[in-house]
Amino acid sequence: MDKAALSANGFEKIGIIGASGAGKSTLIDVLSGFLAPSSGMIHLNGEPLSSLTFANWRKQLTYIPQHPYLFSSSLRKNVAFYRPDASDDHIHQALKAAGLSRVVQRFPNGLDEKIGNGGRAMSGGQEQRVALARAFLCDRPLIIT
């Protein structure tokens, strides 16, 4: 088996590519703190760690799954899920950063438009963007998608 290494410093965007079964999802699970690695070593700020499963690490990141969950509620509540006290201005900024401003402008009820189960149907890409807006609003330094 080939030895692999991954290093990131500061604000970087990193893409992981590979064949089916190569371990991309497993790597995401390890980085997200959902799974401890079965071999190898993790270093965080130069310190060796056996895993990233500790709570303080998870508080630093937002994980956006391939099929994010939309709550059967308003767009406002979906975006502000992790920050329910967020102002409408902050929610609109997060939606703009996620590329949803033009879509939301077409909603008759704006931020109060019901989405999710029983609400307005959204494409898979729009659902991903709602989850991305949610991540931007919670303002954690790492986003894993």
Condensed to tens digits (0 to 9), the pLDDT of residues 7-64 reads: 877 777 888 888 999 888 888 888 888 888 888 888 888 888 888 888 888 888 988 8
**Whether the predicted pLDDT of 1 surpasses 70:** no
Q: What percent of the chain has pLDDT over 70?
A: 97
**Whether the predicted pLDDT of 80 surpasses 90:** yes
For residue 16, what pLDDT is reported?
86
For residue 3, what pLDDT is reported?
63
For residue 70, what pLDDT is reported?
95
**Whether the predicted pLDDT of 101 surpasses 50:** yes
For residue 43, what pLDDT is reported?
85
- Which pTM does this prediction carry? 0.80
Q: In angstroms, rounded to a whole number, what is the distance separating the alpha carbons of residues 55 and 105?
A: 38
